């Protein structure tokens, strides 16, 4: 990584100093401000390089920023644990050797490279339990579990290659017309999702090889959820007809982190605040801002639309029709959001918004407004 490793080392050492210097009541605020300020500066540096210097993409910088985002999850999660009393830190540093012994576990946790390469998020207590052997032995050897996950990742990669090659070459949004753009959007989103799925499975394989498997048991005193280190539930993601369930299942450890960090702590509009913060955390590209705010509106609409539709579906054939249509709508909306989030310019985002693809989120948006107005009329 060269000098790009400093992008991770600097906030690590600063966070360790904060954990041992700031009281539990203020530690989360200090850690959050430090980590997000540093991450935002790094993202602005990447934006400057992409849009003004117009140089070739720097792979090492991209990897460093991705790792920094995952490190932000660790820092803020640990700060919340300290704030709530789940983890205790010494108030004073002590002599040189004692200070090193106190700092070493934190540095090991924040710089644990298998998690920095892709996650999923592992709590500090969970990390300590694993390192100290508090969790029970695994029924499956680490390398066997890792090998199985690598085969799954290979299958997903081959499927992605087949989708890319067997279907006609992907047209750009500038080349498609009419409802042909819907197919372009769906296929683009499918390729993106398959790339995410294979990466998540590879991340799990790396953690399994490091001894952080998914089939760990519980020993006395071990943290609850000791074995819950998985981001990929592909079956649920591809079969659900609920956008809200898709949202909770997509990148599960990050969803739980956002819920704990933002949603449960927001005094007003927690859903909007959560998705707005997610856009900030991802880097505030135009597509990310638009995509995450659209996602928030779609989840809110999903909470209201499904109870209404279920009340209308009385017979078995109307229930089947309800399941089928809402599944298609969910897939199209998720495809729209996925493609929007991946866009890096206003011009590409405008082409997406002006295409027929916008019919699906607009349908949900209009339905949300109608249901809100209907509910107000009933209250009056």
Tokens at 196, concatenated: 């995410």
- The secondary structure of residue 3, as a DSSP letter, is G
Tell me the CB-side half-sphere exposure of residue 24, using CA atoms within 13 A. Answer: 11
Burial of 113 (0-12, 13-18, 19+ CB in 10 A): exposed
Distance CA(253)–CA(119), nearest Å, equals 8
Check 20, 251, 285, 357 and give the catalytic one: 251
Return the closest-CA partner of residue 253 out of 233, 273, 270: 233
Phi–psi pair at 97, nearest 5 degrees: -65, -40
- The angle formed by the CA atoms of residues 321, 185 and 190, to the nearest 5 degrees, is 80
**Cis amide prior to 103 (ω within 30 degrees):** no
Structure tokens at 312: 């209308």
Active-site residue, from 47, 83, 157, 282: 282
DSSP string, 306-371: HHHHHHH--SHHHHHHHHHHHHHHHHHHHHHHHHHHH--SHHHHHHHHTSGGGHHHHHHHHHHHHH
Q: Please classify residue 56 by burial: count the beta carbons closer than 10 Å to its beta carbon, then call 0-12 exposed, 13-18 middle and 19+ buried.
A: exposed
Half-sphere exposure of 205 (CA within 13 A, CB side): 16
Q: 251 catalytic, yes or no?
A: yes
Q: Report the C-alpha gap between 175 and 49 in whole angstroms.
A: 28
In which region does residue 221 sit, left (phi positive, over 0), alpha (psi from -120 to 50) or beta (all else)? left
Considering only CA atoms, which of 261, 260, 256, 296 is closest in space to residue 276?
296
User: How far apart are alpha carbons 16 and 105 in whole angstroms?
Assistant: 10
Instruction: Write out the catalytic residue numbers.
Output: 251, 282
């Amino acid at each position: 990584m060269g000098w790009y490793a400093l992008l991770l080392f600097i906030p690590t050492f600063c966070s360790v100093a904060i954990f041992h210097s700031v009281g539990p009541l203020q530690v989360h605020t200090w850690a959050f401000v430090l980590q997000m300020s540093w991450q935002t500066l790094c993202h602005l540096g990447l934006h400057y390089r992409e849009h003004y210097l117009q140089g070739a993409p720097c792979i090492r910088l991209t990897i460093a920023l991705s790792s920094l985002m995952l490190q932000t999850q660790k820092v803020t999660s640990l700060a919340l644990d300290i704030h709530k009393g789940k983890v205790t830190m010494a108030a004073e540093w002590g002599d040189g050797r004692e200070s090193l012994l106190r700092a070493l576990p934190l540095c090991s946790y924040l710089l644990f490279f298998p998690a920095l390469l892709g996650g999923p998020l592992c709590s500090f207590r969970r990390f300590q339990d694993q390192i100290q052997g508090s969790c029970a032995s695994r029924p499956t050897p680490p390398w066997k579990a890792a090998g199985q996950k690598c085969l799954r990742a290979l299958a997903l990669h081959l499927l992605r290659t087949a989708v890319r090659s067997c279907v006609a070459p992907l047209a750009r949004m500038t080349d498609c017309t009419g409802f042909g753009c819907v197919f372009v959007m769906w296929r683009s989103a499918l390729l993106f999702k398959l790339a995410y799925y294979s990466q998540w499975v590879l991340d799990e394989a790396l953690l399994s090889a490091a001894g952080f498997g998914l089939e760990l048991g519980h020993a006395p005193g071990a943290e609850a959820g000791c074995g819950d280190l998985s981001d990929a539930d592909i079956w649920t993601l591809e079969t659900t007809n609920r956008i809200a369930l898709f949202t909770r299942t997509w990148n599960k450890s990050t969803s739980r982190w956002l819920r704990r960090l933002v949603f449960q702590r927001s005094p007003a509009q927690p859903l909007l605040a959560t998705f707005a913060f997610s856009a900030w955390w991802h880097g505030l590209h135009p597509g990310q801002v638009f995509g995450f705010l659209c996602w928030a509106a779609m989840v809110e609409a999903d909470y209201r639309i499904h109870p209404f539709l279920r009340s209308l579906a009385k017979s078995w054939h109307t229930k089947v029709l309800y399941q089928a249509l809402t599944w298609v709508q969910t897939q199209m909306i998720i495809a729209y959001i996925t493609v929007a989030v991946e866009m890096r310019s206003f011009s590409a985002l405008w082409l997406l918004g002006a295409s027929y693809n916008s019919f699906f989120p607009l349908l949900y948006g209009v339905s949300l407004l109608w249901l809100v107005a209907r509910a107000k009329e009933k209250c009056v």
